[in-house]
Amino acid sequence: MRAIVGSARRANIATALLLLVVLPPLTSHAMPKLVEQHNWLLLDRGIAAAVAAMSLNLLLGYAGQISLGHAGLLGVGAFTAGNLITRMHLPMLLATAVAIVVSAAIALVIGVPALRLRGLYLAIATVLFALAMQYSVFPSHAVSSGSAGVAVPRLLWGHSYLTDNAVFASICFVLFIGAWVIDDNIVRTRVGRAFRVIKENEAVAQSFGVDVVRYKLMAFVVSGAMAGLAGAMYGQTIGHVDSATFDLMSWSLPLVIMVIVGGMGHRLAVVIAAFFFMILPDALGSLHAISPIIGSALLMMTIARHPEGMADLLTIRRRPAAVSDDDDASVPALPDLPLPPASLRSGVVPQPRGNNALLEVENVTVRFGGLTAVDHASLEVPAGQIVGLIGPNGAGKSTLFNAVSGLVRTESGIVRFRGEPIQDLRSDQRARLGIARSFQQVGLAMDLSVRDNLLLAQHQLASYGDTAAVLMLPGVAERESELRQRADVAIEALGFADAADKPVKFMSGGQQRIVEIACLLLTAPDLVMLDEPSAGMAPGVAENLAARLRELRDALGRTVLLIEHNVPLVMDTCDYVYVLDAGRIIASGTPAEITADQRVVEAYFGAAPDAPPPVARRTRKTVGAPS
């Protein structure tokens, strides 16, 4: 499926995996004394724990959602499998499959509050879920015989049971590989990037057009499915489960320990940590009671001293290419904001229906409590023009932007995009229609690299389904490499090649702003909304921005709505300007008309000597008296 280059390596990996699958039963049969059944059992438990840890890693390590409810999800898997096998005589593999589906469904239900909430609130809900499961549901007569629990026999078919722990290890290992491959596919595609940006900042995720609800639920469902698999495996390993099997102390907390000590988001390290902590109590012998103390102490040490976890020891540290400390004193090249990709340059100029306006705001009012932030504002942004929105601080400009991009609800009024009302759509839906915006506070995923941010910006251009991505269907990989190429070209043009893989948070505020604008320009959406893009930009970069905006309009026929206090920039680029004051549009016109409007001068430019716009600017000697 992937490139041919990797095929030899893949063949080797496949051979190694096959050996790992075949060896346990062979060893067990040929040399039964070599490894005792007890140790095979330990291996089975280790594999189940590894899958459980991968499940939490997906949720916590990738998507950043803390779950202390995984004990409950594992229990759902084990109790489902147990009941299906003992009461309905389903074969164990079929029962496992059903357990996976049931756990995924339950995870979906606890994931639903995630729709409305950010991060930590959900963690508390998952604790309650685990306790409700442990104390009320698992001991209930519906799923077990009270505190006696339920048996989970390894029923192969009919009346034949699997007793050899080594053969069972092979089966578990095959299932484990399946989970591993799915996890790997997620990481490599837009699904994994969506998870990571959600982990970092949900508002940013939405502005990139990532459907936060959908991906959070997806993380829960996939994690729940893996937990169900792990639970069913564990149940079959030990043969009998009761409500005490899956409690916070024995599963939820140890899983967090495995993921953190291994290293959040580092699958291999998490799997190794899972085996380690599963085997630790046995290795300690009579001291097994201190095993959880060791685990939690390691967790605390890891978080405070070594946040990357054990994974740090596994990866060969790629030293960043030495930042050239001996730069010559010549003026560094200014960053060049990227051009939209070639494939979009041939794009047809968007043809709005009916009239020529791409965006129409009609009588929109936004209120916060008693405060009217936007008061019956109307404006029209014609396709292929740059329209400015200026006004004093607190006039409601950003709120109007939020109303157009869907971050606040309008109380009344209509927002039309290409003639269609959009005021009832979610912000990510509006983003997918072709509306993109920047924020006053930089809207980037700060922990992700410049490259990842540029890839994320192209989320909607990644034209493959998420299911296809999880299964790595043909075409997904090709599409991915195209996106990467585009990001690389943009990085080169910005002059950020040295810093491409550095987290954005290590860049200066102005550089972050440049990356954010680059993300917007890269996708060339039909409507680009910029909220004070030049704030914090060096003068030279602001000039570069002005040139790019004109190019976006002239060469690509894109439309721009611009909030900006940099008066020369507004006057130079805008075709038309609206002035907002106290939530109302008080004037509109060409830049020249606006600068001549006495109301605007009073409300915005101020009567000070140097403040008026460049057309009228001369160095005057009068000293203004600011009001």
Partner 1 sequence: MQTIVLGLIAGVIYALIAVGITLVYKCSRVLNFAQAEIGTLALYWTWWLSGDHHLPWAVGALASIVFAVAVGLLFERFFIRPIATAPRVTLAVATIGLLALLASVEAALFIGSIKQLPNPINAGGFTVAGVVVGPSQMLALVVVAAVALALGAFLRFTDFGLGVLASADDPVAAQLMGVSRAKVSAFTWGVAGALSAIAALLNEPTVGALAPGVFAGLFIGGLTAALVGGLSSLPGAFAGGILVGLIEAEIKAHLVFASMPDLQYVAMLLMVLLVLLVRPQGVLGRAAA
Partner 2 sequence: MTGGVTDLLQARGLTAGFGAQTVLHGVDLDVAAGEVTGIFGLNGAGKSVLLKVIAGVVPTRSGSITLDGTEIAKLGAERRVALGMAHVPQGRQMFRSLTVEQNLRVGAHVLRRRDRSAYAEELERVFALFPLLAERRRQMAGTLSGGQQAMLAVGRALISRPRIVLIDEPSAGLAPAVVEELLESLLRIREQGLTMLLVEQNIRFGLRLADSACLLQRGRIVYSGSTADLDSEQLASYLGVGRLLRGDLDVGLDRRRGVKKEPTGRAGARS
Annotate each residue in 37-66 with x if it binds partner 1 (CB under 8 A) or - if it does not, as one string: -----------------------x---x-x
Distance of CA 230 to the CA centre of its chain: 25
Q: Which of residues 363-402 bind partner 1 (CB under 8 A)?
A: 368-369, 371
**Interaction partner, residue 281 (partner 1, partner 2, none; CB < 5-8 Å by kind):** none
Question: What sign for the dihedral angle of Cα 65, 66, 69, 75?
Answer: positive
Which residue type, as a one-letter code, is found at position 147? S
Distances (CA, A) of 408 to 10, 215, 429: 49, 22, 14
- 3-state class (DSSP) for residue 420: strand
Residue with tokens 């039963």: 25
Q: Kindly tell me which residue out of 113, 239, 540, 614 binds partner 1, with binding defined by CB under 8 A.
A: 113
Distance of CA 56 to the CA centre of its chain: 16
Separation between Cα atoms, residue 257 and residue 81, nearest integer Å: 26
493 binds partner 2 (CB under 8 A): no
Is residue 445 classed exposed, middle or buried when 0-12, 13-18 and 19+ CB atoms within 10 A define those classes?
Answer: buried
Token pair for residue 219? 């993380």
How many beta carbons lie within 10 A of that of residue 371, not counting itself?
10
Is residue 467 classed exposed, middle or buried when 0-12, 13-18 and 19+ CB atoms within 10 A define those classes?
Answer: exposed
Separation between Cα atoms, residue 427 and residue 423, nearest integer Å: 10
Q: Kindly tell me which residue out of 191, 257, 454, 542 binds partner 1, with binding defined by CB under 8 A.
A: 257
Q: Kindly tell me which residue out of 104, 150, 253, 415 binds partner 1, with binding defined by CB under 8 A.
A: 253
511 binds partner 2 (CB under 8 A): yes
148 binds partner 1 (CB under 8 A): no
DSSP state of 253: H
604 binds partner 2 (CB under 8 A): yes
**Interaction partner, residue 532 (partner 1, partner 2, none; CB < 5-8 Å by kind):** partner 2
Q: Kindly tell me which residue out of 568, 584, 589, 596 binds partner 2, with binding defined by CB under 8 A.
A: 568
DSSP state of 601: I
Counted residue by residue, the chain has a size of 627
Q: Kindly tell me which residue out of 300, 313, 547, 616 binds partner 1, with binding defined by CB under 8 A.
A: 300
85 binds partner 1 (CB under 8 A): no
Which residue type, as a one-letter code, is found at position 546? A
Helix (H) or strand (E) holding 376: strand 371-382
221 binds partner 1 (CB under 8 A): no
Q: Which stretch binds partner 2 (CB under 8 A): 192-200, 201-209, 237-245, 320-328?
A: 320-328
**Interaction partner, residue 307 (partner 1, partner 2, none; CB < 5-8 Å by kind):** partner 1
Instruction: Using alpha carbons, select from 435, 438, 461 the residue that is nearest to residue 527.
Output: 435
**Interaction partner, residue 502 (partner 2, partner 1, none; CB < 5-8 Å by kind):** partner 2
289 binds partner 1 (CB under 8 A): yes
Distances (CA, A) of 119 to 59, 67, 126, 468, 504: 11, 10, 11, 27, 22
Distance of CA 144 to the CA centre of its chain: 39
**Interaction partner, residue 111 (partner 2, partner 1, none; CB < 5-8 Å by kind):** none
**Interaction partner, residue 391 (partner 1, partner 2, none; CB < 5-8 Å by kind):** partner 2
Q: Kindly tell me which residue out of 502, 550, 551, 596 binds partner 2, with binding defined by CB under 8 A.
A: 502
Nearer to partner 1, 91 or 292 (CB): 292
Q: Which stretch binds partner 1 (CB under 8 A): 166-174, 287-295, 426-434, 595-603?
A: 287-295
**Interaction partner, residue 538 (partner 2, partner 1, none; CB < 5-8 Å by kind):** partner 2
How many beta carbons lie within 10 A of that of residue 587, not counting itself?
19
280 binds partner 1 (CB under 8 A): no
295 binds partner 1 (CB under 8 A): yes
Cβ partners under 8 Å of residue 356, min gap 6? 382, 383
Separation between Cα atoms, residue 192 and residue 462, nearest integer Å: 13
* Chain residues that interact with partner 1, rule: CB under 8 A: 60, 64, 66, 68, 112-113, 116-117, 119-121, 123-125, 127-129, 131-132, 135-137, 139-142, 199-200, 249, 253-254, 256-257, 260, 289-290, 292-293, 295-297, 299-300, 303-305, 307, 368-369, 371, 447
Binding region for partner 2 (CB under 8 A): 319-320, 323, 325, 327, 329, 331-332, 334-335, 390-395, 440-441, 499, 502, 506-511, 513-514, 532, 535-544, 546, 565, 567-569, 572, 603-608, 610-611, 614, 617, 619, 624, 626-627
